């Protein structure tokens, strides 16, 4: 199969080649009933080494019931093999919604006069972080609008320093991931030196024409600069990066293919693919008319996208936020999602005090409005281990070092005990009585599933010490 793109190129239009995407869509459409070819791809995917974008798109396009059943079953098997029943928990923290861009799908756009503009002071950040710590969160994703004077890199760096400095009761934020606008190699080095975990940036859409229409003004309108941001981040020393598109902005087939081509590019050019892929869908928001977005996808297509992503990039974490409803989240958890947010607020300053309707500063409407404890309780009912683990980042297991552990299968000897120990911390410090009871029962069962006998024995001892008041053990 001949591909029409250069995954090693540093130029956006060469590693995300429009003609290659259109050829891939035509190939998938022509072969979506080719049972023999589809089954050969499914068998190849069983080796758990991933799939190139054209083959993955063909699985996505397949509408043969028997083959689709095999695809979903394989996705569940791969999810279990690499991630087990662990689900990592996080929360977004919005620092500022000042923005100079004109993105037509985002209420932060510069022309929106309805939204309440806010920027947190360092004291307000402390209050937000204490509120998040009091819920039980250990991992945050920082969010800001793009504004060179209101949200300069110095403000972000100062905020990260503030967040890491706060220790309230037994609370601590141990990993700060950052989702800010595309920037320079120098600024990425500063973020790395500040101790961030993953640098996250959503492409929104890989279709250049659609991208330019959706981003008519502001720095974000530069398609190439935005698309090449991950290369600069890695050049700046950040080896964990997170990609994503906003499904519904453009044809999902196009963006699904572009997303995988971007992952292939990072693997080919930088030696390691994305640490995470996020799969948000367009949501209602202030000053945004959902009727203007005709490419919105339904739950069935969304579930298929998650399943095929899990098959195509088996080692990559898949993130789903509270944009999605409880029912939608439950469906895709077993198909491939490995990280979810809980108890989220998408407004600036929304954790320390509840926002009044007239002061709306939210980026989008939340579908899953449950508290973190309710989400943890729900996950326990479903048989998952809610994990607050940040150990790999803190032990230097990032980038290619993390991927080697995952690919070898050794990650289970780290992740499984770490998940149980951070869950134990949550149960001791924050959980309701019902959640604590369910969590303790799950830990008793799951401790026996740690593969290495020595690790299992040490973890059992650490769990006792956690009950006695000690904190922050990790493998």
φ/ψ of residue 69, rounded to 5? -60, -40
Burial class (CB in 10 A: 0-12, 13-18, 19+), 287: middle
Angstrom distance (rounded) from CA 181 to CA 147: 9
Q: Would you say 227 and 206 are in contact if contact means Cβ atoms under 8 Å apart?
A: yes
Angstrom distance (rounded) from CA 139 to CA 388: 7
Kindly report, residue by residue over 49-92, the tens digit of the pLDDT.
999 999 999 999 999 999 999 999 999 999 999 999 999 999 99
User: pLDDT value at position 260?
Assistant: 98
H/E run at residue 142: strand 139-144
Give the pLDDT band of residue 175 (cuts 50, 70, 90): very high
Q: What is the DSSP string of 218-285?
A: SGGG-HHHHHTHHHHHHHTT---EEEEB-BTSS-HHHHHHHHHHHHHHHHHHHSS--SEEE--B---B
Record the tokens describing residue 7, joined without a space: 């995954």
User: pLDDT value at position 402?
Assistant: 86
Q: 302-332 as b/e, with b when 16 or more CB fall inside 10 Å?
A: bbbbbbbbbbbbbbbbbbbbbbbeeebbebb
Question: Of the candidates 300, 262, 296, 293, which has an alpha carbon nearest to the alpha carbon of residue 278?
Answer: 262
Q: Would you say 290 and 284 are in contact if contact means Cβ atoms under 8 Å apart?
A: yes
Angstrom distance (rounded) from CA 159 to CA 173: 12
Q: Which residues are CB-contacts of 353 (< 8 A; sequence separation ≥ 6)?
A: none
Give the pLDDT band of residue 113 (cuts 50, 70, 90): confident
Kindly report, residue by residue over 209-228, the tens digit of the pLDDT.
999 999 999 999 999 999 99
């Amino acid at each position: 199969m001949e591909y029409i793109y250069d995954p090693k190129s540093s130029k956006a239009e060469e590693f995300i080649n429009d003609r290659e995407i259109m050829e891939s869509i035509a190939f998938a459409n022509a072969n979506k009933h080719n049972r023999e070819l589809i089954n050969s791809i499914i068998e190849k995917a069983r080796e758990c080494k991933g799939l190139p974008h054209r083959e993955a798109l063909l699985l996505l396009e397949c509408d043969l019931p028997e083959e689709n059943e095999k695809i979903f079953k394989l996705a569940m098997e791969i999810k279990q093999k690499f991630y087990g029943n662990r689900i990592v928990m996080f929360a977004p923290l919005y620092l500022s919604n000042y923005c100079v861009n004109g993105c037509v799908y985002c209420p932060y756009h510069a022309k929106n006069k309805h939204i309440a503009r806010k920027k947190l002071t360092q004291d307000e950040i402390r209050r937000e972080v204490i509120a998040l710590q009091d819920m039980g969160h250990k991992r945050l994703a920082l969010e800001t609008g793009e504004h060179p004077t209101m949200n300069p890199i110095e403000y972000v760096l100062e905020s990260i320093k503030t967040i890491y400095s706060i220790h309230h009761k037994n609370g601590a934020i141990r990993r700060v991931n950052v989702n800010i606008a595309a920037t320079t190699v120098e600024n990425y080095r500063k973020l790395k030196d500040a101790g961030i975990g993953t640098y996250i940036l959503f492409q929104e859409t890989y279709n250049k024409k659609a991208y330019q229409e959706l981003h008519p003004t502001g720095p974000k309108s530069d398609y190439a600069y935005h698309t090449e941001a991950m290369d600069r981040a890695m050049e700046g020393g950040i080896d964990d990066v997170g990609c994503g598109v906003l499904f519904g902005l453009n044809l999902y087939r196009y963006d699904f293919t572009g997303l995988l081509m971007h992952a292939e590019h990072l693997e080919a050019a930088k030696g390691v693919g994305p640490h995470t892929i996020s799969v948000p869908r367009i949501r209602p928001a202030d000053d945004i008319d959902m009727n203007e977005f005709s490419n919105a996808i339904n739950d069935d297509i969304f579930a298929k996208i998650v399943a095929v992503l899990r098959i195509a990039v088996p080692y990559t974490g898949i993130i789903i936020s509270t944009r999605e409803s409880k029912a939608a989240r439950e469906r895709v958890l077993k198909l491939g999602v490995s990280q979810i947010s809980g108890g989220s607020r998408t407004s600036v300053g929304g954790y320390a005090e509840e926002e009044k309707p007239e002061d709306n500063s939210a980026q989008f409407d939340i579908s899953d409005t449950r508290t973190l404890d309710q989400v943890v309780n729900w996950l326990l009912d479903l048989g998952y281990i809610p994990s607050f683990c940040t150990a790999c980042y803190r032990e230097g297991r990032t980038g290619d070092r993390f991927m080697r552990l995952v690919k070898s299968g050794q990650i289970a000897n780290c992740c499984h005990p770490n998940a149980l120990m951070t869950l134990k911390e949550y149960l001791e410090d924050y959980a309701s009585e019902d959640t604590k009871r369910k969590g303790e029962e799950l830990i008793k069962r799951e401790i026996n599933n740690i593969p290495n006998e020595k690790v299992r024995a040490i973890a059992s001892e650490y769990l006792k010490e956690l009950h006695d008041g000690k904190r922050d053990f990790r493998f």
